[in-house]
Chain A
C-alpha cells in the first residue's frame, strides 16, 4: 500500500519576541494559524483535524492546553491531538500531522506548535528538583556544555568556531522579519567578548527565550492541486529516540540522530546529502551544535564538521546554507522551534523565504532534537512532488 503524498500548502508564524504581553495563549496560537490559513487561502471549515505540540506544560502553567485551545484553533467537532516529545516536539508534531494525511485518515490538517515562555522561567522550568537526585544542572546549557567540550577535544576544533556560527545566525536573522533577535550592530568581536555562561558557551552563542507560534497546513494531492501557491512536498520524515543515559552513549554524535537521518534519506532517495540538499534548518540552540550536527547528519565526515563552518560553507551564500532563517540561536519558543525549522525548510523550497531565500533551493532538510540529545525528528521537503 503506498502512502498518500503530503504537501505543505500554508505556513504562518507569529513575530517571535521575548514577551507577547498583548495576547493570551489562545490569541498567540490563533495568530499563527490564521496566517497559515491565509497563505493556503483556506478557511477554518476546510480543516479536518488539528495536531498541536509544545514542550513542558509547566512553561505556561496550563496542563494539557489543547483542551483550552480547542476553540481558538477551530477544533470543536474535530479530532485534536497534542504531541510532546521534548525539544524535538515541533518536528514530531508536524510528522504526526503528516501521517494523518499519508494514511488517508484526513485530507487537510492544521498543525501548530507554540511556546509562551514569558509566562514562566524556562531555565528553571527545565530544572525542577527531582527527589533523590543531585541538583546538578541549571538549564539546558549546563547539560550540553560538557558535550560541546567533548566535541572540541575529540576533533581539535579551534575555540572560535562557535562564535562564527553565532555571528552567522544572528546576521541571517536580520533578513528574517519573524526572528526574535535583530542585532543590527552585531560583530564577531562582540560575540567573542560576550560573558561566558556555561564554558565554552558564551551568552551570544546561546538561544534566546521567546514567545511564539508556528503553524502549517498539510494536505493531500487533491488539496495540493487546488492550492494557489507552490506547495512543498514531504519526501521523507522520521523520528528516533534513545535513552537519556547509558553506558556507551555518544553524546557528541548520538546514534538516534544518525539513524533518523538515514531513514529520511532512504525515503527521499538521498545518497549524497552534501550535494543533494540545498538548505538545512537544523536545531542549533548552542552555537557548537552546528558542526556537531553537520557530522551527525552526514554532511561532513566525523571530525570535519567545524571545517565547513570555518570555511563559510554554511553561510547564506555558501554551498550548504545552514539556518538561513537565523535558527534557534535567534528565535526560540522551545515547543515551536522544531516546527519553525520544518516550516523554514518548506519556505525555502517554495521560494517564499524572502530576504533569506537560498537561491534555487529545491530540497531542504528540517531537523529538531530534544531531551538529552535523545529525541530526533526530521523531514526532507522538495519543490517537486515525490516520485511514485
Chain B
C-alpha cells in the first residue's frame, strides 16, 4: 500500500514559549513497612513540606496531578483517598495517571505549557509492604502468554543482566560493584544470589514512600524560589512489551527520549538514573553515553538512586526531584533525570534541568564543555 504524504511531526519542545521549572521537592522517609501509616498519612507531611518551601497554599495551585497504582494499594480508585490529603476544597483542577509520578509531572508540565496553569502540584506514592511486590509486578505482563507463568521482576531483570554478561558488556561482578558505590559506602560483599546473576546488592530494597514536586512557570517560578530548576527538555518513549523482541542490552527508548529532550547537546554535570537493578544502570549509561571520557566528571546518582530507595510509583519522580534539588542548592547547573516503568526498562522518561547562570561563574555552560 502506498504511503500517503505525511504531515511531519512537531519538533521537540525546546526553549518553549514559556519556561517551566521545578521549584520545590519533598519526599517521605522510605521505610520497609509502613503498616501503621495509611497512604494519606504518608503523603500529607510531604505535601505540606513542598507547599511550605514555596509559601503556596493548596488553593494557590492551579493544577494537581498524581501517580499511583491500585494494584499496590489493593483496592480500586485508591488515589481518591490521597485526594483527601490534598484538601481538594474548593474543588480543584486535578488528574491522575496510573504510572510513576514522573509521568504525572509530564502531564502537569504540558498543562502549564498550554497556558492554563501557572503552578502545579505533582505527587506520587506507593506502599509495597502490604503485598509481595515481586509477585504483584508480574500482573503487568502480557496476561495471556506471560503473566500465567508468574515470572517476577527480579527474574526478568536477571535475564537482562545475563544478556549483558553474554554480550560482554558487564562481567558477573561488575553490577554489584556499581550497587555498592550507589549506596555511598565502600565496596561491600555482593551478597547472596537472589536470581543469578543478580545478588542482593544488585536489587532494590522494597520500601514504602511518597514524594511531591511543585512546578511553576516563568516569573512565578523566580518568585517562589531562589534558583528554579528549569525544565529544558522532557520526553518519554515506550518499547515493545514482549521481551523476546527487544535487545535487553540496549535502551533505544531512553536514547530517543534523551535526544528529544536535548540531553546530548551539552553534557550534564549530574545524572539521576532510575535503575532499580544495578545491571540496568549499565544499560542506561550506554544509552545516555555516560561511559566516555567526556563524562568522566559527571556525578551519577549522588542521591543513591533507586538502589538506595525504590518506592514503586514514586521512585522516578524522586529522580527528577533529587536532580532539581541539587540545582536549587547550587550543586548542579545542568542535570539529567531519568525515570522508568515496566519490565526491564520498557518505558523511559528523560528530563534535562538547568539552573540560571550564577554570578561570577560565567554561566551554566562553562562546566563540562
Give the B-binding residues of A (Cβ under 8 A): 1-3, 24-25, 41, 43, 45-46, 48, 55-58, 60-71, 75-86, 92, 95-96, 99-100, 102-108, 125-126, 128, 130, 222-223, 226, 238-244, 246, 254-256, 259-260, 263, 371-372, 374-375
Partner of B99, one of A68, A75, A82, A374: A82
Which of chain A's residues have a CB closer than 8 A to the CB of B97?
Answer: 81-84
Is the Cβ of B9 less than 8 Å from the Cβ of A85?
A: no
Question: When the two chains form the complex, which single residue of A83, A126, A128 contacts B95, counting CB atoms closer than 8 Å?
Answer: A83
Between A and B, 19 residue pairs with Cβ closer than 8 Å are A1-B17, A65-B143, A67-B341, A69-B241, A70-B240, A78-B237, A79-B235, A79-B238, A81-B103, A81-B107, A82-B103, A83-B98, A99-B110, A103-B114, A107-B9, A240-B92, A243-B89, A259-B91, A375-B94
* Whole-angstrom distance between the Cβ of A221 and the nearest chain B Cβ: 11
B114 contact set on A, CB distance < 8 A: 3, 99, 102-103
Q: Does B264 contact A (CB under 8 A)?
A: no
Q: Are A238 and B93 in contact (CB under 8 A)?
A: yes
Instruction: Find out whether the CB atom of A242 lies under 8 angstroms from the CB atom of B10.
Output: no
Q: Are A46 and B98 in contact (CB under 8 A)?
A: no
Q: B239 touching A24 by the CB < 8 A rule?
A: no
Q: Which of A64, A99, A223, A254 has a CB less than 8 Å from the CB of B98?
A: A64
CB pair B242–A58 under 8 Å, yes or no, is no
Taking the nearest CB of chain B, how far is it from the CB of A236, in angstroms? 11
Q: Complex Cα distance A43/B3, Å? A: 8
Instruction: Check B113–A64 contact: CB distance below 8 A.
Output: no
Q: When each residue 257-284 of chain B gets 1 if its CB lies under 8 Å from chain A and 0 otherwise, what string results?
A: 0000000000000000000000000000
Contact A239 B139 (CB under 8 A): no
CB <8 Å contact, B80 and A76: no
User: Are B69 and A64 closer than 8 Å at their CB atoms?
Assistant: yes
Across the two chains, which residue of chain B brings its CB closest to A4?
B114
List A contacts of B147 (CB < 8 A).
62
Counting chain B CB atoms within 10 Å of each CB, which of A64, A85, A239 scores highest? A64
Count, A-B residue pairs, CB within 8 A = 203
Q: Closest CB-CB distance, A296 to chain B, in whole Å?
A: 12
Residues on A with C-beta less than 8 A from B99 are 64, 66, 81-82
Asked if B69 and A77 make an inter-chain contact with CB atoms under 8 angstroms apart, the answer reads: no
Contact of A77 among B70, B95, B256 (CB under 8 A): B256
11 further A-B contacts with Cβ under 8 Å, apart from A77-B237, A85-B94, A240-B91, are: A46-B7, A62-B143, A63-B136, A66-B238, A67-B140, A76-B240, A77-B253, A80-B238, A81-B103, A85-B95, A108-B7
Closest chain-A Cβ to B191's Cβ sits at a distance in Å of 28
Q: How far is the CA of A97 from the CA of B71 in the complex (A)?
A: 25
Task: Report the minimum CB–CB distance from B11 to chain A (whole Å).
Answer: 10
**Given contacts A58-B70, A64-B69, A70-B241, is CB(A241)–CB(B91) below 8 Å?**
yes
A357 shortest CB reach to chain B, Å: 29
Report the interface size class on chain B.
Answer: 35 or more
Q: Once bound together, how far apart are the Cα atoms of A372 and B236, in whole Å?
A: 33
Determine if B103 and A92 form an interchain contact, defined as CB atoms under 8 angstroms apart. Answer: no
Closest CB of chain B to A198's CB: distance in Å? 19
Q: Contact partner of B346 among A65, A67, A83, CB < 8 A?
A: A67
B96 A83 Cβ-Cβ under 8 A: yes
CB distance from B321 to the nearest CB of A (A): 20
- Chain B residue with the shortest CB-CB distance to A255: B91
| 0/1 interface trace, chain B 341-352, chain A, CB 8 Å (1 if under) | 111001100000
Q: Quick check: is B229 within 8 A (CB to CB) of the other chain? A: no
> Across the two chains, which residue of chain B brings its CB closest to A108?
B7
Q: How far is the CA of A85 from the CA of B96 in the complex (A)?
A: 6
Residues 132-160 of B, flagged 1 when their CB comes within 8 A of A and 0 if not, give 00001101111110010000000000000
User: For residue B193, which residues in chain A have a CB less than 8 angstroms away from its CB?
Assistant: none
Contacts of B140 in A (CB 8 A): 62-64, 67-68
Interface centre among B8, B90, B96, B240 (most CB of A within 10 A): B96
Q: What's the minimum C-beta distance from B214 to chain A, rounded to whole angstroms? A: 18
Do residues A222 and B7 form an inter-chain contact, with CB atoms below 8 A? Answer: yes
CA–CA, A222 and B347, complex, Å = 29
Q: Which residues of A contact B79 (CB under 8 A)?
A: 84
Tell me the minimal C-beta distance from B95 to chain A in angstroms. 6
Q: Is the CB of A105 within 8 A of B77?
A: no
Contacting pair A256 B91 (CB below 8 A): yes
Q: How far is the CA of A48 from the CA of B11 in the complex (A)?
A: 11
* Bound Cα distance from A133 to B136, whole angstroms: 24
> In the bound complex, do residue B238 and residue A58 qualify as a contact, i.e. CB atoms below 8 Å apart?
no
CB 8 Å contact bits of B61-98 with A (1 = contact, 0 = none)? 00010000111001111011001100111111111111
Q: How far is the CA of A103 from the CA of B107 in the complex (A)?
A: 11
Task: Please judge, given known A-B contacts A62-B139, A63-B139, whether A223 and B240 are in contact too, CB under 8 Å.
Answer: no
